[in-house]
Homo-oligomer: A and B are copies of this chain.
Amino acid sequence: MQNIKDYISQHKQRFLDELVQLLKIPSISADSAFSQDVLNTADSIKTSLERAGCDLVEIHETDGYPIVYGEKIIDADLPTVLVYGHYDVQPPDPTDLWHSPPFEPVIKPTDLHPEGAIFARGACDDKGQMYMHVKAIEFMVKTHQLPCNVKFMIEGEEEVGSNNLAVYVAKNKAKLSNDIILISDTGMIANDVPSITTGLRGLSYVEVEVTGPNRDLHSGLYGGAVANPINILSQMIASLHDDNNHITIPGFYDKVEELSATERAEMAKAPFDIEAYQKALDIDAVYGEDGYTTNERNSIRPTLDVNGIWGGYTGEGAKTVIASKAYAKISMRLVPDQDWEEITQLFKKHFESIAPKSVKVKVTPHHGGQGYVTPIDTIAYQAASKAYETTFGKKPIPQRSGGSIPIVSLFEQALGSKTILMGFGLDSDAIHSPNEHFGVWNYLKGIETIPYFYKYFTEMSS
Residues of A bordering B, CB below 8 Å: 29-32, 90-91, 93-94, 97, 159-161, 187, 201, 203, 205, 207, 212-228, 230-231, 233-235, 237-239, 241, 281-289, 294-295, 297-298, 301-303, 305-324, 326-329, 331, 333, 356-360, 366-367, 401-404, 427, 430-435
Of the candidates B29, B360, B427, the one whose C-beta lies within 8 Å of that of A221 is B427
Q: Of B94, B207, B237, B287, which contacts A234 at CB under 8 A?
A: B237
Interface of A is mostly: loop
Contacts A221-B401, A309-B310, A320-B432 known; list 16 others, CB within 8 Å: A91-B313, A91-B317, A216-B433, A222-B298, A223-B333, A224-B288, A225-B288, A225-B295, A226-B286, A230-B305, A230-B328, A231-B241, A285-B358, A308-B311, A309-B314, A314-B329
Which residues of B lie under 8 Å from residue A303 when comparing CB positions?
A: 219, 223-224
- Shortest distance between the CB of A304 and any CB in chain B (Å): 8
Most chain B beta-carbon neighbours within 10 Å: one of A91, A298, A314, A319: A319
5 A/B residue pairs, CB under 8 Å, sorted by A: A205-B320, A230-B305, A238-B238, A285-B358, A308-B323
Taking a contact as CB atoms under 8 Å apart, the answer to whether A220 and B333 are in contact is yes
Knowing A238-B239, A283-B226, A358-B284, say if A216 contacts B97 (CB, 8 Å): yes
CA distance A286 to B223 in the complex (A): 11
In the bound complex, do residue B308 and residue A402 qualify as a contact, i.e. CB atoms below 8 Å apart? no
Complex: chain B residue closest to A324, CB-CB: B97
On chain B, the residues within 8 Å of A404 by CB distance are: 220, 320
Among B201, B212, B316, B357, contact of A31 (Cβ-Cβ < 8 Å): B316
Report if A93-B315 is in contact (Cβ < 8 Å); known contacts: A215-B434, A219-B305: yes
Smallest CB–CB gap between A293 and chain B, Å? 9
Q: How far is the CA of A241 from the CA of B212 in the complex (A)?
A: 18
Q: Contact at A358–B287, with CB atoms within 8 Å? A: yes
Partner of A313 from the list B29, B286, B329 (CB cut-off 8 Å) is B329
A356 nearest CB neighbor, chain B only = B287
CB-based contact A308/B312 at 8 Å: yes
Contacts of A401 in B (CB 8 A): 220-221
Closest B residue to A427 by beta carbon equals B221
Contact A318-B161, Cβ < 8 Å, known A238-B234, A289-B224, A305-B219: yes
Q: Which 8 A-B pairs have the closest CB atoms?
A: A224-B303, A30-B317, A220-B403, A308-B312, A227-B287, A238-B238, A214-B282, A287-B358
**CB pair B294 A225 closer than 8 Å:** yes
Contact A321 B287 (CB under 8 A): no
- Docked Cα-Cα span, A45 to B297, in Å, equals 62
Q: Which residues of B sit under 8 angstroms from A228, Cβ to Cβ?
A: 305-306
Q: Do A314 and B318 touch (CB < 8 A)?
A: no
Smallest distance from the beta carbon of A65 to chain B beta carbons, Å?
A: 12
Among B32, B220, B230, B324, point to the contact of A306 (Cβ < 8 A).
Answer: B230
Known: A306-B312, A319-B90. A225 touches B286 (CB 8 A): yes
Please give the distance in Å from A226's CB to the nearest CB on chain B. 6
A433 touching B283 in the complex, CB below 8 Å, given contacts A309-B312, A322-B307: no
Residue A402 contacts which of B222, B288, B432 (CB distance < 8 angstroms)?
B222
With a 10 A CB-CB cut-off, give which of A282, A321, A358, A427 has the most chain B CB atoms: A321
* Contact across chains for A32 and B312 when beta carbons are under 8 A apart: no
Indicate if the CB atoms of B402 and A216 lie closer than 8 Å: no
Specify which chain B residues have a CB less than 8 angstroms from the CB of A309 in the assembled complex.
230, 234, 309-312, 314, 326
Cα–Cα, bound, A298→B219 (Å) = 9
User: Which residues of B have CB within 8 Å of A328?
Assistant: 230
Question: Measured between C-beta atoms, what is the minimum distance from A185 to chain B in Å?
Answer: 11
What's the nearest-Cβ distance from chain B to residue A312, in Å? 4
**Closest B residue, CB atoms, query A90:** B319
* Contacts A31-B315, A225-B298, A367-B318; A286 near B215 (Cβ below 8 A): no
